[in-house]
Amino acid sequence: MNKYLTEFIGTLFLVLTIGCTVLGNGGLPPLAIGSVLMVMIFAGGHISGGHFNPAVTLGVWIRGRCPTQDVLPYFISQSTGALCGAELVKLFRKPPLSPFSIDYFPAFMAELLFSFALVFVVLNVATAKGTAGNSFYGLAIGMTVMVGAFAVGDISGAVFNPAVALGISLLGISAFKNIGLYLVADFLGGAIAAWVFKILDRSDH
């Protein structure tokens, strides 16, 4: 239960930060989002692994470092955290006048590529034997999200996370009709990253 509560808390603060910074029209949202992910991973990584993202959970499961019985509870904890985070945002920010507009194919490819990058980094810095016991994994993962947000935020919204997709849809930042794009692209990117990791590092199984 401690693992599931940690995943709930981390995802809640991730979505809360996304909603407040994006709707607040101030500062640099990618920097805030990457930073909150980093600190939540450092805070909860030793308890739950610090996934805070169903696509990461899927990738870690395919890689063989997440028990099958934890996958669905992680998904539920992350989704519930995202929903609660979105509800909290409503206390502080007004909803957008209109949802973020995307061009489907470029948005799909942007989500696929950076979800791949995110999960590939997670697997290499947080689960690989060669980086075991390191103290930089949270920074590396948070900066991957930050880089992706700067690079393709205006193309796809830089979601890279099915739970975040749920949260921003509830807030009206993204139209609900787009949630399928995020789910497919983000889960697929995470799965491909896990398969590539297993191919590249065959000795680490």
pTM confidence score: 0.95
Going from the C-alpha of 28 to that of each of 35, 115, 122, 149, 155, the distances in angstroms are 11, 21, 24, 10, 17
CATH code for position 91? 1.20.1080.10
* Neighbouring C-beta atoms of residue 3, cutoff 10 Å: 17
Residue 65 lies in a domain: yes
The pLDDT assigned to 205 comes to 61
Which residue do the tokens 């297993």 mark? Answer: 198
Residue 119: inside a domain, yes or no? yes
**205 lies in some domain:** no
Q: Number of folded domains in the chain?
A: 1
Contact 195, 120 (CB under 8 A): no
What is the structure's pLDDT at 169? 97
Q: Could you list the residue range(s) of the whole structural domain that residue 37 is in?
A: 2-200
The verdict on residue 182 lying in a domain is yes
Per-residue confidence in pLDDT tens, the chain, 205 aa = 899 999 999 999 999 999 999 999 777 899 999 999 999 999 999 999 999 999 999 999 999 999 999 999 999 999 999 999 999 999 999 999 899 999 999 999 999 999 999 999 999 999 988 888 888 999 999 999 999 999 999 999 999 999 999 999 999 999 999 999 999 999 999 999 999 999 997 767 6
3-class SS at 30? Answer: helix
Measured CA to CA, the distance from residue 98 to residue 180 in angstroms comes to 19
103 domain residue, yes or no: yes
In a domain, 148, yes or no: yes
pLDDT for residue 26:
72
